[in-house]
Structure 1
Amino acid sequence: MTRLSIAACLGEDFLAQALHREHRHVPGALDVAGLMTWDDLNHILAAHRLEPPRMRLSRDGEALLVGGYTTPVATRRHTVWHRLHPAELHARLNEGASLALDSVDELHPPIARLCEAIERELCTRVQANLYASWTSTEGFGVHWDDHDTVIVQLDGAKRWRIYGTTRPFPLYRDIEDPGEAPTETVADLVLRPGDVLYVPRGVWHAVSADQGTRSLHVTCGLQTHTATDLMAWVSEQLLAHEDWRRDLPLLASPDVQADAVDGMRKRLAELLDDPVLLARYRAAMDGQAVGRMVPSLPFIDAVPIDGGLRVRLTTARAVLDVGENAVTLSAAGTAYEFAREAEAVLRPLVDGQTVDLAALADTAGLALEDVAGLVKELVAGQAAVVGSLL
């Protein structure tokens, strides 16, 4: 898949006008050739033991019993798994069920690359779920999600009825329920292959394949970052100060308690007064993001000095800081410091490229063995993967 900008797909004003604010539909925004086909889905269903709820069928907002489309199999190791029964699966889908497959980005590399492109641009974790349906019956009813979503229609057509919100920015763990769904739609859309739809969290919607054709689409869910998440991170930074590690004076006099709270307030205010606090938080979250870790077998103890060996990062959110004498790469929870010359090796990897070691060595003007040594550090920290056909 060519380099994707989800913001460009959704309009040049998407980040400023729509993100976290309102739904947006752009017909024909993305070339979906090679992204996911029905044959790809058939192969995934046949080749993996996808226990519910990862793979499930739903109809009218209710999950179907797994026994209606699988057969239990007892193994010699005294475990039981559910083998998919294709004929029964076909029957349930023909009766109006929808098929959902969670975390398909972990099963199909083109979808993983789509998610990584979105992660790189929007700086948040993305999980892709796949949905297939054949009838006008709604698989999940009128509902809202607790995270923003980017939907890409892969095949066929899907009708989306958008109803708006009843509670702004609801959370998975919230103190108040959003209540009943609105009855009036704010948009009635039909998605066709290549269409992209953005739906913010909390927006009620209903989806059905009622256009006389089947439907296959992928929904990319974006991890939410709220002020509560920021405060949790700030609390970790405050642990550097003794007064934030000290036991609370719960049994002391009111004056002592008031002084303790005043001291905490001042420390907190100092951090919140930092004008680049949100940028620091974003960089910290990006550097900690583990991405999609992949083994580098058979290279279990070293990276061979082989110019044809290819390398890419396992995370799309690595942060590269360039100083006068050194560069620091924060990736998959580890900070690496290298000589300034390593920037030419690291930059294409941070940009999401898969590159062979020889090309990196030529670009940076470094010896191949030095590049292999650098990559070995990244592989050891699970920030990179090497192989021949990545």
Structure 2
Amino acid sequence: MHPLVERFAALARLSQVQEQPSPAHLPGLGKCAPFTAVTAAEVEGVIGRHGLRSEQVVVTRHGVVVPAAQYTATARIDRVPLPGVVRHAALFDLVESGHTLALPGCELWLPGIAVLCDQLRSALAQPVLAGLFLTPASETGLSVHTDAYDVLAVQTTGSKRWRVFAKRPEPVRNAPVDVSDEPVLDVVLQQGDALFVPRGCPHVASAESFSLHVSLGVQAMTAREVLVAAMRSATLSADLDAPMPYREVGDLNDRRAAVLRRASEALLTGLSSDQADRVYQALSSSTTTAPSPGRLRRLESAAEMTDSPSWPGTAP
């Protein structure tokens, strides 16, 4: 396991049981692969090589999100319209004018980051996301906000000042927050530094210089999500599909309550058994797992061996 993933997992476990968790500055822990490979040239190459769609790009400045129509267009592939394709020139024009570029799901194009996501997902048995943020010097992409997940930010280029405030209740992803208190942590991340921000802690980051950072987030599944997924599982008790009683003479509420009580007991019994593993696995799994390098090359090599002519003196 990558040392930074191990440290992040430990901090996330601790923050989940603390009433008032603390952010943590981790200087120098990101001065290693795969973060050293996340450079401006690599990001520009990713944007240029891949036909990014509007869902894969977010552009902001001072908390205001730029409508995707300003940097996307409809492309055509064999006369089939493909809406929401990013126009690279328009995107870079916005960055040059001071806007922050965010690429959620960056593990799709950065195999090393995908490996870290897999390790973190395995360590915590929770959904994991990754994002890449590019901010011009002296600019702020998002205003003070909270995230509904624990975050590890790793500075890969330049420097960025982070101010983190005490945790608020009921965190909502990217929800703006009014803060009048002093930050509990005010730190400038340099290249290779990392920062842990607990779920629900308001924070704001401003670039001191041209800045690139990668964020890993643990989106802890909620009890509601688990219960909904469990109720949809075909492996659980048939009591969950019991019909609700018709109205007739007698206390309808009592009969309804009896049916719901049996269903609830069946649901909890199912969640405490091995059947629950499939529910948790489905919620924590991802379609963006780390790639397995060399598979196409091995396929090509196998085809070359099959198609190659026999040597003299050997059987055809």
CA deviation string 1:36-55 (max 9, x = no partner): 12221111011112232422
Normalising by structure 1, report the TM-score.
0.62
Q: For residues 247-262 of structure 1, what are the structure 2 equivalents within 5 Å?
A: 247-262=243-258
Inter-partner Cα distance in structure 1 for 2:53 and 2:282 = 32
After TM superposition, give the deviation of residue 131 of structure 1 in Å: 0.4
Structure 1's 286 and 265: CA in aligned 2 closer, same or farther, altered over 3 A? same
Distance 2:117 2:45 in 1: 21
Give the partner amino acid of 1:277.
Answer: S
Letter in 1 for 2:210: R
Q: 1:34 to 1:198 in 2, by over 3 A?
A: closer
Determine the C-alpha separation between the residues in 1 that align with 2:110 and 2:72: 23
Aligned mate of 2:120, from 100, 118, 121: 118
Q: Deviations over 1:223-247 (max 9, x none)?
A: 2312212322443469743432122
- 1:108 match: 110
| Matched pairs, number | 291
Name the aligned partner's letter for residue 288 of structure 2. Answer: R
Relative distance call for 1:68 and 1:240 in structure 2 (3 A) is closer
RMSD of Structure 2 on Structure 1 (CA): 3.8
CA contact under 8 A between 2:54 and 2:72: conserved in structure 1? Answer: no
Quick one: structure 1 residues 157 and 20, their matched pair in 2 at CA, closer, same or farther if it must change by over 3 Å? farther
Query: Any unmatched runs of 5+ in structure 1?
Result: 173-177, 307-390
Distance (whole Å) between structure 1 residues aligned to residue 229 and residue 68 of structure 2: 40
Deviations 1:342-372 (A, max 9, x none): xxxxxxxxxxxxxxxxxxxxxxxxxxxxxxx
TM-score (norm 2): 0.75
- Classify the secondary structure of the residue corresponding to 2:251: helix
| Larger RCO (CA under 8 A, 6+ residues apart) | 2
Post-superposition offset of 1:70: 6.7
Paired residue for 2:231, among 216, 231, 235? 235
SS at match of 1:164: coil
- Alpha-carbon distance, 1:286 to partner: 2.6
Q: Displacement of 1:150 after TM fit?
A: 1.9
Confirm or deny: 8 A CA contact 2:104 2:130 kept in the other structure: yes
Check conservation: 1:10, 1:24, Cα contact below 8 A. no
1:196-217, Cα deviation, whole Å (9 max, x unpaired): 22223322111110x3x21110
TM-superposed deviation, 1:112: 1.0
Q: 1:26 to 1:281 in 2, by over 3 A?
A: farther
Contact 2:145 2:177 in 1 (8 A): no
Percent of pairs identical after alignment? 24
Q: Which residue of 1 aligns with 2:311?
A: none
Q: Is 2:231–2:267's contact at 8 Å kept on the other side of the alignment?
A: no
